[in-house]
Amino acid sequence: MRIDRDLDKTILIDIPILNDERGFLAPLTDNVDPNLIKRACFVGDYGRSVIRGLHYHKKEWKFYAVLTGAAKFLSVDIPEELIQQEGAESKIKSYLIDNPASITSYVLSYRSPKMLVIPPHRANGWISLEEGTNVLFLSNLVFEEARLDDYRYHHSVVSSDYWGAS
């Protein structure tokens, strides 16, 4: 599957592993339109159960791969009209209670390399499931562009049941 601007939903991609006597190679972006990637970040957490997010973006694409440890990612479909409203967090929380199918979770681990692709118009976040979890994060926007496209909500707008390890 080719990942390009036509993608309109979050997907999890299996990464082929190339092995030889030296170790392995996991080509993460061979099927991604190179015009979608302007920034690469290495994100590490200081411990287990650290939650990053919830962030909504109207323009930013996010690509995640776990390099060490494991993490649970959430992709959350929120109607755009709720994003900038007065009292957005409480309205989003109520919406998600009434629409649980809007929340999808994915567990990624270095033991089974995958890449999670989250196109714009979705909120997302992740929680580290193991000590020493490190994540590679790619974006179609440089930091300053992404900062201007960042709508941040406290992770509690999504029920704590979703952030659990299962």
Among 40, 74, 37, which Cα is nearest to 163's? 74
Q: Write down the H helix ranges in 22-101.
A: 80-83, 88-98
Print burial letters for 92-126: b (CB count within 10 Å at least 16), e (below 16).
bbebbeeeeebbbbbbbbbeebbbbbbbbbbbbbb
CA distance 119 to 121: 7
Three-class SS state of 36: helix
In a domain, 40, yes or no: yes
Within a domain: residue 44? yes
Number of domains the chain contains: 1
What whole-number distance in Å separates Cα of residue 53 and Cα of residue 128? Answer: 12
Give residue 40's pLDDT: 94
Residue 46 belongs to domain with CATH number: 2.60.120.10
Domain annotation covers residue 5: no
Q: What per-residue confidence (pLDDT) applies to 85? A: 82
pLDDT of residue 146: 94
Angle (CA) 79-82-84 rounded to 5° is: 130
Does residue 75 belong to any structural domain of this protein? yes
Q: What are the tokens at 100? A: 């649980």
Residue 66: predicted pLDDT? 96
| Residue whose C-alpha is closest to residue 51's, from 122, 151, 121, 133 | 133
Query: Does 15 reside within a domain?
Result: yes
Return the closest-CA partner of residue 15 out of 61, 71, 53, 63.
63
Q: Report yes or no on 2 lying in a domain.
A: no
- 4, part of any domain: no
Q: How many residues in the chain?
A: 166
- Which residues of the chain register pLDDT less than 50? 166
Domain of residue 19, residue span: 11-163
In 8-150, alpha helices (H): 80-83, 88-98, 143-148
Cross-sheet strand order for the sheet of 11-14:
11-14, 114-118, 62-68, 134-139, 39-44
Structural domain includes residue 120? yes
